[in-house]
Amino acid sequence: MNRFIACLLLVVAPVTAQFQCPIGDDGFNTAGCCQPLTAPPNIPHFPTVTTDGTYGCLLDCALEAQFQTFATLGFQWINCDLAVISTTVSSPTPCGPSFSGPLVAKYSRTWLRPSVVGIQEQVWRFLVNGDMSYTLLSSCASQIPCPVPPEVAIGVPVHMVGHIDYICSPFGSPTGGAPSYRVEMSLSHLNGCISHAPYSTFPLVGPTAHTDRSYHFVAPSNFTFTPVPAPVGTGTEEAVRSSTLIWGTAAGGNVYNCHGEQEVTQWNISTLSQECFGCPSPAGALPAYAQQSLSGSVTCNGISSTFSTMPFAPAAPGGLLTLRLGHWTPTATSPTHAELCVHVGLMDYQDPCTQDGPFHVVTGVTTRFQMPGMLFGTPGTVPPPPQSAFLDLQNVKILPFYPTAPAIPSPGWGSLFVSTIVWNLNLP
């Protein structure tokens, strides 16, 4: 953990702890598009949170086994919109999954949504990734290949991607009380065709590559692993936001600065086909994946820029591979059905703020809610209409501290990374 923080630590910009909610918009739309932030964004310092969860192994895209789990998350700001979240997952099930590690957390955006007491809660979304260390018990020979990925036995870290939504309830619970935080989250170690592909940090072949399996932790535990509809349609919200990242400047340090967000003027996502993604794809298996394409445009100071996914055959002919992972069912604390999709793809985008690009490996999630959420919008303008689907993507910048790993191609994949661009996209 110390080595991780030492590599990641940039110019520290403390964020004042705030434990009242809602606290309002984050402030990224007040700085002026592409303008560096001159003050810390309006985001809380989140307390340590413990949650129950469910861990599932998917074999040929269908649920092979699932396990009851619990997770503890410890939050630490690094700078601006970047945090480290220490994560520990354990299971009361004998020989169940047990893993831990730091997550690199890129703040994405915030919105309001209905609560069980009829008062809006505020949500803050982070896109996360981390290399997890699993506990492999000698007394549990059946742990490999489920729930423990097989590369653990040869000392390769398990790289996970996903999201964490911190949710603040103004009254803590339906019966009242002080404001309290809880989380809705996902962590996925994707099929070895992606996680251990030849272009990855840790390319593998044979049984350790688990090309037929993927591994997923979701919280809270009221989750069902079953394919849900992939996001499709046209939207006009919300933003693209970028950061400057320079490793090892002449002054001997690292540079990381956040910029004001650009407005998304239109975007579209469509589905080309559905399949069980593999290498090769197994015949007759559950079509849990959607092959998709995504494109859109943003504007900053009257100048438009475009983004679009880039086909890379044969893995993703539309440029975006979407795992239609499952859904949460309503509970006493979460009153709405919510669906979850996990994305990985390749984006063509020349960032006008930093000139980063044009090619980016991207990953992220979509959540769709039966009860729409409310965006904050730009101060002084009419608030945007309610939105049901929240699609968030981040680009991949591999951290430069794997001296024993194979040469990491650009843009790279399969190990710890930071992000310099986030796409916030919505569908009504």
Using only C-alpha atoms, the chain has a radius of gyration, in whole angstroms, of 20
CB of 90 closer than 8 Å to CB of 52: no
The H or E element spanning position 411 is none
Cβ neighbors of 206 (< 8 A, separation 6 or more) are none
Tell me the per-residue pLDDT of 176-201, one tens digit each, with 9 for 90 and over: 566 789 999 999 999 999 999 888 88
How distant, in Å, are the alpha carbons of 8, 54, 166, 351, 354 from that of 298?
A: 30, 38, 27, 10, 15
Q: Of 23-32, 242-251, 332-341, which gets the smallest average pLDDT?
A: 242-251
Q: What angle do CA 337, 427, 332 make, to 5 degrees?
A: 20
Residue 100: what pLDDT? Answer: 97
Higher local confidence (pLDDT), 331 or 233: 233
Domain limits, the chain: 2-427
**CA separation for the pair 397, 209 (Å, rounded):** 23
Tell me the per-residue pLDDT of 257-307, one tens digit each, with 9 for 90 and over: 899 999 999 999 999 999 999 888 888 899 999 999 999 999 998 889 999
Task: Output phi, psi for 343, to 5 deg.
Answer: -120, 150
pLDDT at 252 over 70: no
CB of 242 closer than 8 Å to CB of 420: yes
The H or E element spanning position 5 is helix 2-8
Count Cβ neighbours within 10 Å for each residue of 155-170 and write b for 16 or more, e otherwise: ebbbbbbbbbbbbbbb
Residue 388: what pLDDT? Answer: 93
Confidence of residue 237 (pLDDT cuts 50, 70, 90): confident
pTM to 2 decimal places: 0.92
